Amino acid sequence: MRRNPRRRLVLRCSGPGWWPGFAALTVLVCAAPLLAQEASSDSTIPSDSAAVEEPSGWDIGPPGQVYPLYLADPRRPQTNAGLLHVLSSDLNDEFGSGHVRTTLSLGGRVPVVRYTGSGVQAWEFSVEGAFFGFFDASQSLENIGWDGWYGFLFSWRFARSWSTKLHYRHLSSHLGDEFIERTGRDRIGYTREDFTLGLAWEPLPGATVYGEGGVGIHDGAGRQEAGYFQFGAQYRDDDPILWDIFDWQVGTDFQLYQEDDYRPGFTVQGALLVPMGRQGQQFRLALEYHNGRVLIGELSEFSEDYFALIFAWDF
């Protein structure tokens, strides 16, 4: 990753079904620092941003992320606009929705404070929030629905190529008035609050493998259940291509919910990037394919697959 010089504020200092998987992930996260420490003694593979040792101390509003963003996760807080072509969808069959949709997302994850310790260890507290809107272009841009999201996470980079997070998030889902009026569909009150525990590994510069498990602590709809898992892999190359302008990245993301009997949904995304002056800030032009549950929580009992063209600003 590029590391851009900047001024820093530094203070020097001298139900059954989900429990087995979540317990296994918890054991793995707890054991990973010991395994990583043992492996790092003879490892010669440099990591990405985690390989750069920074001065110890506090940093307010730091650049970058201690725990990586999931590049292909269509529901991560971000700012973008998308044009979707739906290949097949239960919404089309059930409600007469069209094959062309537009999306609008506003938000992101912002690191608030980071403490860098000795070596490559670092601790970070971040906040995030987002609005996700879905519109039906074949119904005069009818608002199908929208979700609101906010969250807090504590991240820890405990070794050169390893990081973990404890993440609280709250999601509230809504149907659009026009969609309700046209279809007669009532809101089911889909609201999800959960805690997730995640682990990420960077085996090579630019490459990341990750996994996490979540436990729901509040729900608003009868169909909701507690268990949730997510995993994926991604790669970013910072050597510019196409007239020495664009970086590029690819990633795939899988999500499984107990309420869907752990039927996996997946998303694949490839993107061209135009980096800006600050680390992690960029324009992104992406192609995405999704096969799985509808991304609006209120309609997540339905499935669809689509291709999307996405214009995004990451910050």
Please enumerate in sequence order all residues whose Cβ is within 8 A of that of 27, keeping only pairs 6 or more positions apart, or say none: none
Q: What is the pLDDT of residue 138?
A: 85
The CATH number assigned to the domain with range 19-314 reads 2.40.230.10
Cα 192 to Cα 17, 20, 291: the distances in Å are: 18, 21, 22
Q: What is the pLDDT of residue 308?
A: 98
Q: What is the pLDDT of residue 276?
A: 84
Q: What is the pLDDT of residue 290?
A: 98
CA 3 from chain center: how many Å? 22
Please give the full DSSP string across 191-223, using - where no structure is assigned: EEEEEEEEEEE-SSTTEEEEEEEEEEEEESSTT
Q: What is the pLDDT of residue 118?
A: 83
> What does the alpha-carbon distance between residue 143 and residue 194 come to, in Å, rounded to a whole number?
27
pTM as predicted: 0.82
- 271: exposed, middle or buried (Cβ count in 10 Å: 0-12, 13-18, 19+): buried
Q: What is the pLDDT of residue 161?
A: 95
Full pLDDT tens readout for the chain, 315 residues: 433 433 333 333 334 455 555 555 554 555 555 444 444 333 333 334 444 566 789 999 998 899 999 999 999 999 999 999 999 999 999 999 999 999 999 999 999 999 999 888 999 999 999 999 999 998 888 999 999 999 999 999 999 999 999 999 999 999 999 999 999 999 999 999 999 999 999 999 999 999 999 999 988 888 899 999 999 999 999 888 888 889 999 999 999 999 999 999 999 999 999 988 777 789 999 999 999 999 999 999 999 999 999 999 998
Q: What is the pLDDT of residue 222?
A: 84
Q: What is the pLDDT of residue 170?
A: 96
Q: What is the pLDDT of residue 240?
A: 86
Q: Look up residue 145 and give its two tokens.
A: 């629905």
